[in-house]
Amino acid sequence: MSACDSALPPADSTDAADARLVALVAASQPSLRAYLHSLVRQSADVDDCLQETNVVLWRKRSEYDPARPFLAWACAIARLQALAHCKRVARRDHVPFDDELFARVAAAAAQHVENQEERLRALRQCLEALPPRYRQLVDQRYAAGKPVREMAHALELSAEAVSMALYRARKQLLECIQLRLARESQP
Partner 1 sequence: MTNRDDSVPELPLGSPLGAPRSADEQLTGLLAAATEGEWSAEQSRQLDALLTAHPRLVEAYVAHVALHHVLAWELQTAGSEPPARLSPVAAAEAAASRGDRPVPSVYRSATTLAGWAVLAVCVTLMAMAWLNLPGSLSADDDIVAVLLESEDAVWSGEEFVLPFGMPVARGQRFQLQAGLARLALEAGAGFVVEGPADFTLLDGRQVLLQQGRLVAHVPEGADGFTVVTQTAEIVDFGTRFVATVDDGNATDVYVLEGEVEARPLWDAGRARRLTTDEAVRIGADDLQTPATVVAHDTLPEPPRLDQLLLYRPWDAARASLRLAADGPPAHTPPAGPYTAPDLKVNPAAADTIAHESFAEATTWPLPADSGWGFAPTAWQATPGYVSLLSPPRAWPLVDGAAARQVVALGGRAPGDPLLANRLSRRLADSQSGELWFRFFGCYEGLDDNDFFVLWFDHNARFDASHAGAPSVGIKQGRFLARIDKPHETYGPAAVDGQPFELVGRLSKQASRNYNRLVLWIDPRRGVDTPPDVATEFEPARGVGMITHIGIRLGQDTEADDRLLLGALWLGPTRQSLYPAEKDIQP
Which residue from 63, 65, 144, 187 is in contact with partner 1, where contact means CB under 8 A? 144
Of 39 and 78, CB closest to partner 1: 39
- For residue 154, state whether it binds partner 1 (rule: CB under 8 A): no
Distance CA 53, CA 74 (A): 8
Q: Where are the beta strands (DSSP E) in the chain?
A: none
- For residue 23, state whether it binds partner 1 (rule: CB under 8 A): yes
Q: Is residue 143 within 8 Å of 133, Cβ to Cβ?
A: no
- State in angstroms the smallest separation of the CB of 62 from partner 1: 12
- State in angstroms the smallest separation of the CB of 86 from partner 1: 5
Distance CA 75, CA 32 (A): 7
Which residue from 105, 155, 157, 181 is in contact with partner 1, where contact means CB under 8 A? 105
Which backbone phi and psi does 44 adopt, to 5 degrees? -65, -40
Distance CA 42, CA 37 (A): 7
Element of type H or E holding 10? none
Of 94 and 183, CB closest to partner 1: 94
- State in angstroms the smallest separation of the CB of 187 from partner 1: 24
Distance CA 160, CA 170 (A): 15
What is the number of residues in the chain? 187
Which residue from 108, 129, 154, 179 is in contact with partner 1, where contact means CB under 8 A? 108
- For residue 14, state whether it binds partner 1 (rule: CB under 8 A): no
Binders of partner 1 among residues 61 to 100 (CB under 8 A) are 66, 69-71, 85-86, 88-90, 92-93, 95-98, 100
- For residue 132, state whether it binds partner 1 (rule: CB under 8 A): no
Q: Is residue 48 within 8 Å of 69, Cβ to Cβ?
A: no
